[in-house]
Structure formats: C-alpha cells, structure tokens
Amino acid sequence: MHVWLLQKVAEGGKGPSLLDEGGQGVLHFAAALGYDWTFEPTIVAGAGVNVHDVNGWTALHWAASCGR
C-alpha cells in the first residue's frame, strides 16, 4: 500500500485525487481497507476529501459501507 500510495501521489503530476482505471481514488481505497494512517499524508499531498468515485461515493461512504 505504501508504494502504491507514493506512486499515486506523484503520478503524472496530477496528484492523489486522480481516479484509477476503476474509478477509485487513493482515499476511497484506503477508507475501504481501513488504512487510516494514509489519510493525513494523502490529504497533505493535495487529495480532496470530497472527491467522488464513479459511483458518486466519497471516502466516507466507502468507510461506512465497509464498517470502518
């Protein structure tokens, strides 16, 4: 996860809010898996906490859906 997160933060200069090919952002993925340690560095790096995935869900939706 750490390596993937670093790649997404630096990817193409577009920042961590960039959605992957599945329509998910870094925070969506981290929230679903319960990787709360990733939130602060990802947000500091410029990720938007209210970014919606392809289904219109934010990281908070994913966290709640996965019981986090």
pLDDT in tens, 1-49: 667 666 766 665 555 556 777 888 888 989 999 999 988 888 877 788 8
14 contacts: CB under 8 Å, gap ≥ 6:
none
Tally the domains of the chain. 1
HEC secondary structure over the chain: CHHHHHHHHHHHHCCCCCCCCCCCCHHHHHHHHCCHHHHHHHHHCCCCCCCCCCCCCCHHHHHHHCCC
Q: What is the CATH number of the domain that holds 28?
A: 1.25.40.20
Which range marks the domain in which residue 36 is found? 2-65
Q: Give the residue, 53 or 22, on which the prediction is more confident.
A: 53
